[in-house]
Structure 1
């Protein structure tokens, strides 16, 4: 990796896009914070391709080609939670798409950064009937990322045992996205991984600079964005959860 010029790409969904970390110029987020920190020691070309709501299929179809054209030295591939919350969940297709994205980036010599997801149902406070299917899907997603890690030797940010992920201050008031502090912590953790790989730069600051959201801002966001999103996810997960509950009940009755 060049000590003078570093090309970076961020593929994924709202977390990598920066939702939860607003600035006057728009969403910032952990990937931008990381690129800015690297830029203090190197020339950086940062290509932020992540968009809110993206699924794994969206990343393969709409983000991968541009990322490959950028020829990044470092790229993050953090996506899949939107898939885990949808009725269109297809683990075989998801695995194929994620492996394809990882293999294409690795083939170019890109240092790839992926993740092991925490149990987001605890952050959202979902009822058990909805939390159970989502947790099962996150486990499948993490198994796929573990396979990518084994195949391609990627850097992996493991959030599964990180107590910080359950701390309320880590999350925006919508509980769906990291807060500014959460984004800064993620940028710091990924920066530490890159430092250990030999890319030297000062780690991103953990000091927040944005004013907290006002009560009016929170109410507007909850009504316009969060409540409709939760309604769609409940409609997606509830039928699957009902079928799983019925299946488990039949198994218990049969065993009795």
Structure 2
């Protein structure tokens, strides 16, 4: 990545005014986020990009259109999929959301013993409960962090295989349950080292900016399609 590139010049980020166009007259009033550290917002600062994490950025753009939008982020670092369901789902439902972002499974996939069917079951339970309560649900296939320069070469192949398997499974659950799905795992930038933090587990401010752009485009396709 050029050292002079910023969000304003990054071709994969939103252009000025684009978010407002994408979300014009959007229908959502109560936005909740469930998940792990990605949901919570752990990302590494990067020159040229605002130090504002992905879910907060999405909420801010939704609120720019509807200032009364209520926003609750329940994300907590370190949680596996079953822990997200056990500790966050009840509070999310009590909030009464009409839009929910669910990001989990990454901490499961970091483990060699990752059980995709078990994670699928937890994710499906979370999605089903939220949809039954009347919320639109966003699911995500995350950037493949095995491309991070901070990941040891001896771990890269195994981690990459598990992260891509998680993404495939998440997309299949999304298709089966009818979520709004944001697939970042095969994004053209996925192997760009500027997307990743120095800890080998999280993203940079650039990855959050790109993820925000992709999320808003998915939201726009959904809400304009049902006008």
Common fold, TM-score beyond 0.5?
yes
Q: Does 1:13 align with 2:36?
A: yes
Larger proportion of helix: 1
Match of 2:127 in 1: 102
Structure 1 runs of 4+ off > 6 angstroms? none
Q: Secondary structure at the match of 1:16?
A: helix
Contact persistence 1:10–1:48 (CA under 8 A): yes
CA distance in 2, matches of 1:33, 1:160: 20
CA distance in 1, matches of 2:119, 2:27: 36
CA distance in 1, matches of 2:95, 2:158: 37
Larger radius of gyration: 1
TM-score by length of 1: 0.68
CA distance in 2, matches of 1:99, 1:142: 14
Q: Secondary structure at the match of 2:65?
A: coil
* Residue of 150, 159, 162 corresponding to 1:134: 159
CA distance in 2, matches of 1:36, 1:110: 19
Gaps of 5+ in 1: 200-256
Q: Secondary structure at the match of 1:113?
A: strand
CA distance in 2, matches of 1:4, 1:120: 33
Match of 1:206 in 2: none
Contact persistence 2:147–2:191 (CA under 8 A): yes
CA distance in 2, matches of 1:175, 1:40: 33
Change (3 A) 1:5 1:132: closer
TM-score by length of 2: 0.75
Offset of residue 129 of structure 1: 4.4
1:176-228 CA distance string (max 9 Å, x none): 222222212211221121122227xxxxxxxxxxxxxxxxxxxxxxxxxxxxx
Change (3 A) 1:169 1:71: same
Aligned residues: 194
* Residue of 55, 60, 64 corresponding to 1:40: 64
Contact persistence 1:21–1:28 (CA under 8 A): no
Match of 1:240 in 2: none
1:149-185 CA distance string (max 9 Å, x none): 2222211111122122322222233342222222122
Report the RMSD for the aligned CA atoms in angstroms.
2.4
Say which is worse superposed, 165-174 or 147-156, in terms of deviation: 165-174
Match of 1:203 in 2: none
Contact persistence 2:27–2:223 (CA under 8 A): no
Match of 2:222 in 1: 197
By relative contact order (CA 8 Å, sep 6+), the higher-ranking structure is 2
Offset of residue 75 of structure 1: 0.7
Contact persistence 2:151–2:200 (CA under 8 A): no
Contact persistence 1:17–1:28 (CA under 8 A): no
CA distance in 2, matches of 1:5, 1:156: 17
Offset of residue 120 of structure 1: 2.0
Change (3 A) 1:86 1:62: same
Gaps of 5+ in 2: 1-24, 46-50
